[in-house]
Amino acid sequence: MSLKKIILIIFVISGQVCSNPLFHQKIAQGIPYLYNLELKKASDIFNEAAKISPDDPRSYYYIAQIHLWSFLGSKEEHEYKQFFKFSDIAKNKIESIEKIDGKDYLADFWKGNIYTQRALAYSSKDKMLDAFWAAKKAIGYLEDVIDEKPDFYDAYLGIGIFDYALTYVPGIFKFALTLTGLDADKLQGFNNVRLAKQKGSLFKTEATFHLARMYTDYLAEYDSSAILLNSLIKKFPRNSLFIYQYAITLIYQRKLDLAEKELYKVINLNNKNFSQTNSFSYFLLGDVQLRKNNFNEAIENYIKFLTTTKAVDYTGIAGLRVALCYKFLNNEKLYEKYLLLARNGNKDIPEDSYAKEYSEILFEYDLNKNQLTVIQAGNYLLAGEYKDVAKILNPVLHRIKQPDWKGKVLIYLAESNIELGNYNSAFNFASRAISVNYNFDKWILPYALYLKAKAYWLTGNDKEAVKYLLKAENENDYYKKEYLQSLINNLKQKLNLPE
């Protein structure tokens, strides 16, 4: 977007806040630097704007946003405090204007976005009740905007983000949703964000980013996500968050070499305000190398993640994967060490909760050669090496008796055969996986049902596809739930089923 167009948009939505053309020009100059994560330059420009028009809240809003993003990317406490300092200034400026000019939709719009920022800040500090109350205020202000001016499409973004994000609230905090009267609806959230992206003007970049994430996480539409993210990266090549999200999408597409390249871009940018993003990039590089069955390289990257992260999230699953790598390398001492460390992650996220329980099982029962072969085959599957899956699993299929491991073999063979177009074999393996009684890895059953539904759809039998897809959705309440639901949602769309 050209500078001239940005200035025009700011003029259109400015209302009575500020009529100084130089102020608008400064804000327009700062926004591209903001989205390119050149935060020092953006901050300097927004501070210049504040000097030109000290009573206008928008310069302080954007300065607050810089500190919020810096906090989220680095977990530095001083950034958190600076965020609230400038957030308070922006809010107070709006309230001062309202005392003179009265309440209007523009004031409500900016207050809604201020409280959207605060909800994100609070949730990142696990202050969930504060986050919910901030979300309630944000939604209230933004809904008032839409009531007064339904075609002010930027207001739909914040509402959509909350509609979507609140569906991920852990069960322990469900009471707070009831207490605050907040609703959650992924489809409604997706539609609101898409509307903001299509018809909004001021926050189109943010709407595009959130929509790309939803295409990946909610609908498994990885191509759509990649197109949006590429458009953002082209405009803002130094935005490590956009590049990082693109790498995630590539991993889901099983394009591991391309994902690796993008992750190194994040690390080489080395944005000091986003050190946590760098840490998570090492985690994903570990995943990439593990899926390539490069165990030494995987360990190296997981260890870099574990030694640089400032968050407990994903440390459990990283520890488990390091342990498995050491098992492949025949290092029993370090295998057991990292099995123990795998219990120390964030139990509120599924990956770390699974790592804790699974590491306890492995510590008691250990892994044999055939089971290691199954793990290796799972890596080949996630790397898109479908012929290799069958090559190493067919010889051990008859030897594996334990239900959970048998089920993994069957779904790996089913999925690889689907990808290779061998649908009769896929039906056979998926059906056999459905008939197994699982002990720990109960997620295999809904996944097998989904694979059978997909095979039916690919062979033109929509009736049976719908039957097995609905069964998969009904059974989907275990580990990998969100990922599998995105695949189910994707196939639902192709079958013209309602969400």
Query: Model confidence over 392-432: pLDDT tens digits?
Result: 999 999 999 999 999 999 999 999 999 999 999 999 999 99
Tens-binned pLDDT, residue by residue, of the chain (499 aa) = 444 443 333 333 344 455 688 999 999 999 999 999 999 999 999 999 999 999 999 999 999 999 999 999 998 999 999 999 999 999 999 999 998 888 889 999 999 999 999 999 999 998 988 999 999 999 999 999 999 999 999 999 999 999 999 888 766 566 666 666 777 899 999 999 999 999 999 999 999 999 999 999 999 999 999 999 999 999 999 999 999 999 999 999 999 999 999 999 999 999 999 999 999 999 999 999 999 999 999 999 999 999 999 999 999 999 999 999 999 999 999 999 999 999 999 998 999 999 999 999 999 988 999 999 999 999 999 999 999 999 999 999 999 999 999 999 999 999 999 999 999 999 999 999 999 999 999 999 999 999 999 999 999 999 999 999 999 999 999 999 999 999 999 999 999 998 7
Spatial separation of the C-alpha atoms in residues 395 and 386, rounded to whole Å:
15
Spatial separation of the C-alpha atoms in residues 382 and 403, rounded to whole Å:
22
Neighbours of 436 (CB within 10 A): 19
Neighbours of 481 (CB within 10 A): 13
Quote the tokens at residue 167: 């569906």
Three-state secondary structure call for residue 236: coil
**Measuring CA to CA, which residue among 98, 189, 195 is closest to residue 152?**
195
Q: Compute and round to an integer the Cα radius of gyration of the chain.
A: 25
> 3-216 in CATH: which number?
1.25.40
Separation in Å, CA 309 to CA 73, 87, 121, 327, 478? 11, 27, 19, 24, 27
pLDDT at 15: 42
Q: Are 487 and 450 in contact (CB under 8 A)?
A: yes
> 395-499 in CATH: which number?
1.25.40
Q: Are 441 and 407 in contact (CB under 8 A)?
A: yes
Spatial separation of the C-alpha atoms in residues 362 and 344, rounded to whole Å:
16
Residue 104's Cβ-count burial label (10 Å; 0-12, 13-18, 19+) is middle
Three-state secondary structure call for residue 469: helix
| H helix runs in 292-385, sequence order | 295-308, 315-328, 332-341, 350-365, 369-382
Name the residue with tokens 């630097």. Answer: 33
Neighbours of 353 (CB within 10 A): 16
Same-fold call for 3-216 versus 395-499: yes
Three-state secondary structure call for residue 459: coil
- For the chain, give every domain's residue range: 3-216, 395-499
Quote the tokens at residue 379: 């890596």
Q: Are 389 and 376 in contact (CB under 8 A)?
A: no
pLDDT at 421: 98
Spatial separation of the C-alpha atoms in residues 270 and 265, rounded to whole Å:
9
pLDDT at 175: 62
* pTM higher than 0.75: yes
| Sign of the alpha-carbon torsion through 227, 231, 233, 237 | positive
